[in-house]
């Protein structure tokens, strides 16, 4: 289980909305990576990284997330697969 902590933030509604959107996008990329692993045989870590690139090309909301954040999502998916 991943636990996220945050100190008291004083942001605007637009900032909170952007943060929520980024979190949902990262979770979506992670879920797509895990789904790919379940659907295809012999999926490796490199294939999950390639998936992030493909998702950024295909979906505008995924492209809004920078490449490091997308890769971090695939890393989290890979870690859950390996520790499975």
Looking at the structure of the chain, the number of domains it has is 1
Q: Is residue 28 part of a domain?
A: yes
**46 domain residue, yes or no:** yes
| Range(s) of the domain holding residue 78 | 16-83
0.85 exceeded by the pTM? no
Residue 4 counted as domain residue: no
| CA pseudo-torsion sign 24, 51, 31, 3 | negative
**Measured in whole angstroms, how far is the alpha carbon of residue 64 from the centre of its chain?**
12
Q: Tell me how many degrees the CA angle 63-66-32 measures, rounded to the nearest 5.
A: 60
Considering the domain boundaries, does residue 42 fall inside one? yes
Range in 4-13, 33-42, 54-63 the model is least confident about: 4-13
Residue 80, CB half-sphere, CA atoms under 13 Å: how many? 17
Summarised one tens digit per residue, pLDDT across range 20-50 is 999 999 999 999 999 999 999 889 999 999 9
27 falls within a domain: yes
In a domain, 5, yes or no: no
């Amino acid at each position: 289980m991943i636990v996220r902590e945050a100190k008291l933030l004083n942001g605007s509604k637009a900032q909170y909305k952007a943060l929520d959107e980024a979190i949902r996008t990262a979770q979506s990329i992670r879920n797509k990576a895990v789904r790919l692993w379940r659907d295809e045989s012999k999926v490796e870590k490199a294939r999950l990284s390639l998936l992030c690139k493909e998702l950024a090309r295909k979906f505008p909301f995924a492209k809004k997330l920078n490449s490091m954040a997308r890769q971090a999502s695939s890393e989290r998916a890979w870690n859950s697969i390996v520790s499975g």
